[in-house]
């Protein structure tokens, strides 16, 4: 793999990940861009003990351009058009988000008053382009392409973890207009947070109170033994629907070896992940014969605390509950955080299994 670092016209970093060592990445960004926005502010909610990012500049980000590849900022540049990627082709690209929720370009922040407090939303947000093919999807990537994406995820996890003040690195993909994507090109994002996220705190708290071993490892072992909710497996990974799934179709993908993050996976583990995961994604699309909206979220251990408790795993879920019905987060879920699932997890697992490799 070849890794090439360059910069866009406004100073943002861009990194090419190429299979071939002779890839030419000398193209420069020809655009005249506005200065980068200052970092968002973090405001503290004393009632939930959570930090909320206030990022007003993101209101102006590109939203679902209608011109296909001619307007897509994630497609390669051409002789007549410049995009976020200066080269005329690419394998995998990672670059700093033009409209970040977190960054190190600090401004000045006024005290909001009340019982809240404010500080800079320090960190970094990056975009990961999985392929130059605008009309593709992660489910259509070759095994070798998935491995290259995983190399990029691992590289960025390791590097972003070194930024002062970063406490957690989160790699994820949003897919589908129903999920709220703003660009249709196959891509994901990486957030380097200046705090440990609320969901991770809850999970690690449960793991800390669990006295029989590692909680995540025991959940995996129990699901593998029960078998009824396992949808796919190989020697190094298992994909299963959790017994208490929140979402109509939800699959967790675990490596069989406890590792804290993507950077700790072996080459063999990365290779084994690719065919299993893409088969699950294709199964999702096969459930109702329509493109399945989903969120794919890598749970990684925090950078500085509780790494011995963490267990890398991927959470994949969709808000689609039937061919023409979506699961909306209404009163109970949005206001109280109390989920009600419309689909029995065992039935969801059976349906997903029925579509594996079909």
pLDDT digits (tens, 9 = 90+) for 11-47: 999 999 999 999 999 999 999 999 998 989 999 999 9
Q: How many angstroms separate the first and last alpha carbons of the chain? A: 32
**CATH code for position 269:** 3.30.428.10
Q: Are residues 125 and 144 in the same domain?
A: yes
Does pLDDT of 147 surpass 80? yes
| 248-274: average pLDDT | 98
Q: How far apart are CA 256 and CA 254, in angstroms?
A: 6
**Whole-number percent of the chain with pLDDT over 90:** 91
Q: Are residues 348 and 219 in the same domain?
A: yes
- What is the count of structural domains for the chain? 2
Q: Are residues 45 and 146 in the same domain?
A: yes
Name the nearest CA neighbour of 259 among 270, 251, 245, 248. 270
CA distances, 172 to each of 102, 120, 317, 319 (Å):
15, 23, 12, 16
Q: Are residues 258 and 281 in the same domain?
A: yes
Q: In the structure, what pLDDT confidence band is assigned to residue 312 with cuts at 50, 70 and 90?
A: very high
- Would you state the torsion angle of the CA atoms of residues 131, 134, 135, 136, taken in this order, to the nearest 10 degrees? 10
Question: By mean pLDDT, which of 59-68, 124-133, 149-158, 223-232 is the weakest?
Answer: 59-68
How many Cα atoms within 13 Å fall on the side-chain side of residue 46? 6
Are the CB atoms for 221 and 227 separated by under 8 Å?
Answer: no
In Å, how far from its chain's centre is CA 321? Answer: 22
Q: Are residues 341 and 237 in the same domain?
A: yes
Any residues with CB less than 8 A from the CB of 350 and at least 6 apart, and which? none
DSSP 332: I
Strands (E), 176-301: 187-193, 230-233, 237-240, 249-255, 294-299
Active-site residue (options: 7, 57, 187, 358):
187
**Tens digit of each residue's pLDDT (9 = 90 or more) over 203-225:** 999 999 999 999 999 999 999 99
Q: How far apart are CA 31 and CA 38, in angstroms?
A: 20
Does pLDDT of 63 surpass 80? no
**Whole-number percent of the chain with pLDDT over 70:** 100
**Among 195, 222, 245, which residue terminates a domain?**
195
Q: How far apart are CA 98 and CA 76, in angstroms?
A: 16
Q: Are residues 251 and 178 in the same domain?
A: no
Q: What is the pLDDT of residue 357?
A: 73
Listing DSSP states for 217-251 in one string gives HHHHHHHHHH-TTEEEE-SSEEEE--TT-SSSEEE
Q: How far apart are CA 353 and CA 335, in angstroms?
A: 33
Q: Are residues 223 and 260 in the same domain?
A: yes
Name the nearest CA neighbour of 146 among 96, 92, 97. 92
Q: Are residues 176 and 217 in the same domain?
A: no
Q: Are residues 137 and 209 in the same domain?
A: no
**What pairs with residue 249 in β-bridges?**
318
Q: In the structure, what pLDDT confidence band is assigned to residue 358 with cuts at 50, 70 and 90?
A: low
Domain coverage including residue 90: 2-195
319/63: higher pLDDT: 319
Q: Are residues 120 and 220 in the same domain?
A: no
Please report, for the chain, how many H helices and E strands are present, in that order: 6, 16
Q: How far apart are CA 260 and CA 231, in angstroms?
A: 24
Q: How far apart are CA 92 and CA 127, in angstroms?
A: 11
**Among 169, 195, 221, which residue terminates a domain?**
195
Q: Are residues 209 and 336 in the same domain?
A: yes
Q: What is the pLDDT of residue 61?
A: 79
This prediction's pTM? 0.96
Q: In the structure, what pLDDT confidence band is assigned to residue 107 with cuts at 50, 70 and 90?
A: confident
358 is catalytic: no
Q: Are residues 244 and 337 in the same domain?
A: yes
Q: What is the pLDDT of residue 273?
A: 98
**Among 168, 195, 222, which residue terminates a domain?**
195
Listing DSSP states for 114-160 in one string gives TT--EEE--SEEEEEE--S-TT--GGGS-HHHHHHHHHHHHHHHHHH
Q: In the structure, what pLDDT confidence band is assigned to residue 58 with cuts at 50, 70 and 90?
A: confident
Residues recorded for the chain: 358
Task: Give the H or E element holding residue 87.
Answer: none
């Amino acid at each position: 793999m070849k890794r090439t670092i360059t910069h866009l016209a406004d100073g943002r970093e861009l990194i090419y990940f190429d299979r071939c060592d002779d890839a030419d990445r000398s193209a420069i960004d020809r655009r005249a861009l506005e200065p980068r926005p200052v970092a968002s502010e973090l405001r503290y909610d004393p009632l939930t003990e959570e930090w909320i990012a206030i990022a007003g500049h993101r209101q102006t980000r590109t939203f679902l351009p209608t011109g296909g590849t001619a307007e897509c900022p994630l497609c390669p540049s051409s002789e007549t058009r410049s995009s976020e990627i200066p080269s005329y082709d690419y394998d995998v690209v990672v670059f700093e988000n033009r409209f970040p929720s977190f960054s190190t370009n600090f401004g000045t922040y006024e005290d909001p008053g009340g019982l809240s407090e404010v500080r800079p939303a320090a960190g970094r947000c990056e975009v990961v382009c999985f392929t130059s093919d605008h009309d593709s999807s992660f489910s259509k990537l070759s095994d070798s392409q998935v491995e290259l994406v995983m190399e990029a995820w691992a590289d960025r996890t390791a590097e972003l973890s070194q930024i002062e003040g970063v406490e957690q690195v989160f790699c994820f993909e949003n897919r589908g207009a129903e999920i709220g994507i703003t660009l249709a090109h196959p891509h994901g994002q990486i957030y380097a947070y200046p705090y440990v996220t609320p969901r991770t705190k809850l999970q690690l708290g449960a793991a800390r109170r669990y006295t029989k071993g590692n909680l995540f490892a025991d959940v995996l072992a129990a699901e593998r033994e029960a078998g009824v909710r396992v949808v796919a497996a190989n020697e190094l990974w298992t994909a299963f629907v959790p017994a208490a799934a929140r979402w109509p179709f939800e699959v967790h993908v675990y490596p069989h070896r406890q590792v804290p993050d993507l950077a700790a996976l072996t080459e063999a583990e990365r290779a084994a992940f690719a065919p299993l995961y893409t088969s699950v994604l294709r199964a999702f699309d096969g459930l109702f014969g329509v493109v399945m909206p989903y969120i794919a979220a890598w749970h990684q251990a925090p950078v500085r605390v509780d790494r011995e408790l963490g267990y890398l795993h991927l959470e994949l879920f969709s808000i689609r509950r039937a061919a023409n019905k979506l699961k909306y987060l209404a009163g109970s879920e949005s206001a109280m955080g109390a989920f009600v699932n419309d689909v029995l997890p065992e039935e969801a697992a059976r349906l997903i299994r029925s579509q594996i490799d079909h």
